[in-house]
Structure 1
């Protein structure tokens, strides 16, 4: 800790305690209120200092996590489910490629540390209770018949129910306003499967939880 300034050390200790209490990284408002700063600029400067000294890792615009070398300072540290990007539930769009931090939820990490989250864009799956802006949890395995899959087809991503037929696959939307997409067996070889939808995360009264898909 000698490499930190006094204010950096105070912020670092607050971040550790916040993780212990809430299992997530504090927001700028949390840190600003704790230390009484009139603006976020001072917080930003301290976060930059902690990042340069490998106490934190920057995960994208305005997002930070505990640096892997410092995680042993937390008891039972579990960073949450990584958010790997956005996926269309409507018209297809560009492939999943972002790193948007982590969802502060724990799903039996000894069995599911390979799960990841995506943010839904669109309303083609509303009858499956998947709505625009939802955080969905993906198991990176190929979906079975009738399960909802996150896939890439012809260079674009989509979230659809997978209906397997003797003559191919149908990507079925769960909204009557959208048309299904039929794929022949030969075309299926061009499909990249990201995984299977198993549930979604939700936030209530400041706390995060996960609703798993039934069936």
Structure 2
């Protein structure tokens, strides 16, 4: 087992404590504030060291999780799906903090290792039965043609159906009141893909459940 440096160890302990309280890993800003770093670069380097030493896993830009072999270091297990922020289903807006608790729902571990939830803002996807305020479930894999993708584009988030075109990619709203967004191949290479919409959560009489998208 690779030994942690003092800085890595302090960050690791903070991550464990934060996770136990909020059921999520701390954001870059949380870690900066805790340790007084003036930029995110120091945090980035420390996180990458924890990945290399198999304390964390990394699945895409900024998407870290506790390594399966290290979950025993948590004092308790938290069922559910982490809520990692909000996403626009309308006009695009800036991404929001990734510390919004968790959905108290359980999925078979083999299916839900990296699933996470986002809260929908806007009505551009209502014809896909995605309403303002819905909790949607995201699988962090790239969307295929015709699937609904969650992306970060130009510093802003959006949730749209992905349509592959010869001259690029079209982000298609599922509401006739909104216009599609065309992205050239060069632009598409520069965006961050959060993942693919696979379902959403519902709440009735205080109980939570999940409904998955078919097809």
Structure 2 length as normaliser, TM-score? 0.66
Partner of 2:21: 58
Paired residue secondary structure (1:58): helix
Runs of 4+ aligned structure 1 residues displaced above 3 Å come to: none
Paired residue secondary structure (1:110): helix
Shift of 1:58: 3.2
Partner of 2:57: none
2:75 to 70, 73, 85: 70
Structure 1: distance between partners of 2:195 and 2:103: 18
Q: Which runs of 5+ in 2 are unaligned?
A: 1-16, 24-72
Structure 2: distance between partners of 1:136 and 1:163: 20
Structure 2: distance between partners of 1:96 and 1:144: 25
Paired residue secondary structure (1:70): coil
Paired residue secondary structure (2:170): strand
What does 1:196-207 correspond to in 2, within 5 Å?
196-207=196-207
Asked whether 1:178 is paired with 2:178, we answer yes
Structure 2: distance between partners of 1:154 and 1:208: 34
Asked whether 1:130 is paired with 2:130, we answer yes
Count, aligned residues: 150
CA contact 1:84–1:98 (8 Å) conserved in 2: yes
Q: How large is the Cα RMSD of the aligned pairs?
A: 1.9
Structure 1: distance between partners of 2:157 and 2:211: 23
CA contact 1:78–1:106 (8 Å) conserved in 2: no
Q: 1:64-123: CA deviations, max 9, x gaps?
A: xxxx6321xxxxx44210000000000111124321111001121223210000000000
Shift of 1:127: 0.2
Partner of 2:154: 154
Shift of 1:59: 2.4
Shift of 1:183: 0.7
Structure 1: distance between partners of 2:194 and 2:93: 14
CA contact 2:120–2:134 (8 Å) conserved in 1: yes
Structure 2: distance between partners of 1:144 and 1:138: 14
Paired residue secondary structure (1:188): helix
Structure 2: distance between partners of 1:171 and 1:92: 11
Structure 1: distance between partners of 2:150 and 2:90: 12
Q: 1:2-33: CA deviations, max 9, x gaps?
A: xxxxxxxxxxxxxxxxxxxxxxxxxxxxxxxx
Structure with larger Rg: 1
CA contact 1:85–1:97 (8 Å) conserved in 2: yes
Q: Which runs of 5+ in 1 are unaligned?
A: 1-53, 61-67, 72-76
